[in-house]
Structure formats: structure tokens, C-alpha cells
Amino acid sequence: MGAGGDTGLTAGSLSALPAVHELAGALDAPHAEAVAAARMAIDERRRALLAGEAPASASDLLADARAALARLRRPSLRRVINATGVILHTNLGRAPLAAAARDAVGRVAEGYSNLELDLGAGSRGSRHAHVAAPLCELTGAEAAIVVNNGAAAVLLATAALAGPGRPVIVSRGQLVEIGGGFRIPDVIARSDSELVEVGTTNRTRLGDYRHALDRAGDRGGVILRVHQSNFRTLGFVEEVSIEELCGLGVPVIDDVGSGVLAQGVVAFGDEPPLRRSIAAGAALVCCSGDKLLGGPQAGLVLGASEAVAAARSHPLARALRIDKLSLAALEATLALYRDPARARREIPVLAMLEASEEELGKRAAELRAAIGEAECELVHATAKAGGGALPLLELSGPAVAISERFDPAAVAAALRAADPPVVGRIHDGRLLLDPRTLDNHEVALVAAAVADALATAPG
């Protein structure tokens, strides 16, 4: 049959498609939902016909509409099971919350809260009061506030302590870019301050800062120290310690990145703890709440009372403020740190970093047995901290590798379509499922999703 015959067949098939209201009437759903689902199904079938596919039966089209309805009713933001071995996976929401933090969010979300009410005085209070005391207790800071993320914390601190025309002195080796195109020079520009670069990419000395301050003269200056969170400069390098910088007699803002509060975690290595920067005398210390601290997305700003007060009263503070649910989760997470052993046991990020070979091996073996030993095997793998934290850290341990008989991309796609979705990683042509980022109760869910995926995957 020629092209003309194909066109006639397509035209006839298109005209045979039902009207939207007819298909919607066959769905058991509120009118608006039914119409939207019917329109989606008919549009998809129209595209398929124009691409040369055979016409669908009425029952198939109704099934398509019901599937579209299910997609419409499914939340866009959903729980995902992380089997990648990347603990702070930015695409998956970084730090999973401790049970205590999840419970706190639920209590506050249940109704109204005393977000900005002083219950004792019966007058307006501050949302920062809910976390300022534990932050000061755990770090030695005089005062603290919290904003909506780490980038906001650095922006607010710089704007509050520097401001229009005032020099902000930064080592060239610390003019970094983190995820999402967030660049330190851009932050300084948005604060209306003047960026003054000192030193070189690999070596900056105390004298470089002194020279910049001498040149600033009466304008003074602020030093911004930025931790190389997601990379490291190795070899012929030199940088100035926070103690030396604070000895120069000008305000120092220390962006320590990941927010280390836990003590004795071997995996942290030389990651800068918050308490050290406070003890050194930094005017303001900034970090994220959802990285190594293990809490919700938040930006912590803590340090000297006068400096924190300047940040709290800056016009940007309101635009960058944190919401009540994140505050509830952060307060509960900080409370766990009062008992170091409990924090390391109950805060998922810390527990994953410290998981023993025995614990991981048992979980991996359970997962392999549940999937079926003929379909997978145990292999040695390397997990990562992720999220711009501990870039050199490699956490060795077991993983479950799906058999090479199956197309890894197809299996990965099928797992992402599961409910709940499961995300693994493809390495050396095989799909790996890493037990380090799985909870014990998730093993059965992953195994069931894998069974369904392998039943339909090409292999």
C-alpha cells in the first residue's frame, strides 16, 4: 500500500477516537480528574497513530485512561529507596531524617504551632529561638540563627558583615563553585561588597591577607574562608588556618560546608568541626544542615552575638528564613547530639558512615537471597559520602550485582518505575544495589521491585 493508503488509514483511525467527555464518563473519578486523564490518554493514542502504530481497542484506551488517572493522583514528590551507595545524594534529597526528626515534623504539621510566639510571655517570639540554644550549647557559639540553606547562610553573613563597597578578602584557592552554579564571587557581588583575591590557586599565606588589609586602609575588611567541600587541592599547597586568620583582628566568616557536630567519627577525617571555628574566634560560621550534620535542608549561621544580631536584622534575613517544618526537624536532630552515642546510632548519615562490614554483609546477603542467587551475586563496591562532602572518602563494602544476562539500563528504568521507586547505580555494565544506603526494612521492598523488573527486562 502506498503513502496515500497509509494516510487514509491514519485519518480514519484518528476520527474513530472517542470524544474526551465520552472517555471521561467511563472513569470513576471527579469530573476534572476524569477529563484530564481522558485527554492524556487520547493525546497519547493520537501521537501513537501518527507515528504509525496500530489502532487501540476501546478497552485498551480505557485502560490507558485509568493508568493516566493513577499518574495524576500520584504525588510528584515521593519517597525513593536509595540503593546507590551515595549517602548524601543531592538528587534524592541528601540526608534522610532520623525517626525523632520525622516525628517532630508530624507533630508540628498537625495544626498550629508556637513558631513565633513566646508561650511564657504571650507575646511575639522568634523562630530562631527554637534552635539557637542547642546550637550554642553544642558549638560554644554566643548566638545563632538559621536560614533556608547553606548558600543562603553565606550570602546573609557576607551581606551583614561586609556590605556596600567593603572589601571581602578571599583566597584564590577558595573561589569555588558548588552545585547549581553557586559561585563565591557571585555571592560577594550580590552582597554589594568588593571581592579582593589574595594568594594563588594552590598557595595562600598569612602575609597575603595582611597585605590586602593594609591596602584596604580605613575601609577595613572582612575575611571569608571557604571550605573546599566537594574537591581537594593536593600536592604543593598551603593555606592559612582559621586560628591565624582570626588573629588578624578583623571579622572572619568561616564557611565550613558540611556542618560537623559529631565527635570521633573516623570517616570525617580532617573535616572542619563547627566547634573549632567558634573557639578560634570566627565572627560567623556557616554550614548546611542536610549534609554531615544529618538534618533537614537549612543554613546555620552562628558565632559572636553582635555579628549574629547584624545578620538577624539584615533585610535579606526575612527573604531567606527557614520554615516551621524544617525547624522542627532541625531541633529534633540537634537534640540527638546531646547524647553522642545516640546521635551516631540514630542519625542515618552517621550510622551509614560507620556501618560495619558485618552489618553490611548481612544486609547484602539477605538482599541476594530474597532476589534469588541465580539472578545476582555479591561483589565488592565503593560507596561515597556525596552531596559535596568528603570527596576523597571511599567506603568499601559488599553490594549486590544483578546478573549480566539482564540489560542494566532496562532494569534500572523498571526499578525507577516501581512503587516506591528504587534507584541503584550502573558500574562496569552491571546494575549494583548497595546495602549501605538501605535500611533493614527496605531489603524486602527492593527484592520485590527487582523481581518485577527482571520479569519484564530483556535478558
Report pLDDT for 278. 98
Q: Which fold has domain 99-346?
A: Aspartate Aminotransferase; domain 2 (3.40.640)
Least confident of 179-183, 309-313, 391-395: 179-183
Length of the chain: 459
Could you read off the pLDDT of 47-64 as tens digits, one per residue? 999 988 888 888 999 999
Could you read off the pLDDT of 312-336 as tens digits, one per residue? 999 999 999 999 999 999 999 999 9
Report pLDDT for 2. 39
Task: Provide, rounded to the nearest whole percent, the portion of the chain with pLDDT above 70.
Answer: 97
Domain 81-90+351-456, CATH 3.30.2350.10 — does that match?
no
Report pLDDT for 4. 42
Pair 198, 212: CB distance under 8 Å: yes
Residue 140 to residue 90: CA distance in whole angstroms: 30
pLDDT of residue 444 exceeding 50, the answer is yes
DSSP 170-215: EEGGG--EEGGGEEHHHHHHHTTPEEEEES-SSB--HHHHHHHHHH
pLDDT of residue 6 exceeding 60, the answer is no
- Find the farthest-apart pair of alpha carbons in the chain and give their distance in angstroms, rounded: 87
pLDDT of residue 3 exceeding 70, the answer is no
User: Mean of the pLDDT values across residues 356-361?
Assistant: 96
Q: Where in the chain is the domain with CATH 3.90.1150.110?
A: 81-90+351-456
User: Mean of the pLDDT values across residues 392-417?
Assistant: 95
> Coil, helix or strand for 311?
helix
Could you read off the pLDDT of 201-254 as tens digits, one per residue? 899 999 999 999 999 887 888 999 998 877 777 788 899 999 999 999 999 999
Distances 38 to 24, 74, 170 between C-alpha atoms, Å: 5, 16, 58
pLDDT band at 392 (very low <50, low <70, confident <90, very high): confident
Report pLDDT for 229. 73
Could you read off the pLDDT of 176-187 as tens digits, one per residue? 887 666 788 888
CA of residue 422 relative to chain centroid, distance:
17
User: Mean of the pLDDT values across residues 413-427?
Assistant: 96
Report pLDDT for 269. 86
pLDDT of residue 273 exceeding 90, the answer is yes
Q: Where in the chain is the domain with CATH 3.40.640.10?
A: 99-346
Residue 73, judged by CB atoms within 10 A of its CB (0-12, 13-18, 19+), counts as exposed
Q: Bridge partners of 389?
A: 386
pLDDT of residue 350 exceeding 90, the answer is yes
CA of residue 178 relative to chain centroid, distance:
13
pLDDT band at 264 (very low <50, low <70, confident <90, very high): confident
Report pLDDT for 188. 87
User: Mean of the pLDDT values across residues 276-292?
Assistant: 97
Report pLDDT for 8. 53
Residue 41, all three cell numbers:
490518554
DSSP 345-392: HHSHHHHHHT--HHHHHHHHHHHHHHH-TTTEEEEEEEEB-BTTB-TT
**111-146: b or e for each residue (b if 16 or more CB lie within 10 Å)?**
eebeeeeeeeeeeebebbebbbebbbebbebbbbbb
Report pLDDT for 5. 44
Report pLDDT for 34. 94
pLDDT of residue 263 exceeding 90, the answer is no
Please provide the average confidence, as pLDDT, over all residues in the chain. 92
